[in-house]
Amino acid sequence: MLELSLCCDNRDTINALLTGEVEPRGIDLTTLVEYPPRRHRRFFRHGEFDVCEVSLASYLSAMEEPEAYPFTAIPVYPNKRFRHSFVYTHVDSGIDGPADLAGKKMGVQSWQTTANVWARGILGDQYDLDLADVTWYRRKDDDVPISIPDRFDIRPIGGDAVEETTDMREMLFSGELDAATDPAYSLFNAVLESDEVELLFDDPIAEEKAYFEETGIHPPMHLIAIRDEVLEANPWVAVSLYDAFREARDRCLERNENPHEHTSLTWAHLHLKDQRETLGPDVWEWGLTEKTRRELDTFIRYAQDQGLITRRYEPEELFAETVLDV
Could you read off the pLDDT of 202-224 as tens digits, one per residue?
999 999 999 999 999 999 999 99
Mean pLDDT, residues 14-35 taken together: 96
Helix (H, G, I), strand (E, B) or coil at 53: strand
Residues of the domain holding 95: 84-215
Alpha carbon distance 206, 291 (integer Å): 21
Residues 95 and 203 in one domain: yes
How confident is the model over 175-205, as pLDDT tens digits?
999 999 999 889 999 999 999 999 999 999 9
My answer on whether 88 and 210 are in the same domain is yes
Other CB atoms within a 10 A radius of the CB of residue 84 amount to 24
Query: Does 44 have pLDDT greater than 70?
Result: yes
Q: Are residues 144 and 161 in the same domain?
A: yes
| Residue % of the chain over a pLDDT of 70 | 98
So what's the pLDDT on residue 316?
97
Give me the chain's average pLDDT, please.
94
Residue 317 has pLDDT above 70, yes or no: yes
Give, in order, the Cα–Cα distances in Å from 66 to each of 70, 206, 318.
5, 40, 11
Q: Are residues 231 and 314 in the same domain?
A: yes
Count, residues in the chain: 326
pTM for this model (two decimals): 0.95
Of 215, 235, 269, the residue at which a domain comes to its end is: 215
- Note whether 169 and 268 are same-domain residues: no
Please state, in angstroms and rounded to a whole number, the distance separating the CA atoms of residues 181 and 98: 12
Last residue of some domain: 187, 215, 243?
215
Q: Domain boundary at 191, 215, 239, which?
A: 215
Does position 162 have pLDDT exceeding 90, yes or no? no
Q: Is 31 exposed, middle or buried (0-12, 13-18, 19+ CB in 10 A)?
A: middle
Contact 139, 168 (CB under 8 A): yes
Instruction: Please count the structural domains in the chain.
Output: 2
Q: Does residue 205 sit in the same domain as residue 228? A: no
Q: Which residues contact 258 (CB under 8 A, 6 or more apart)?
A: none
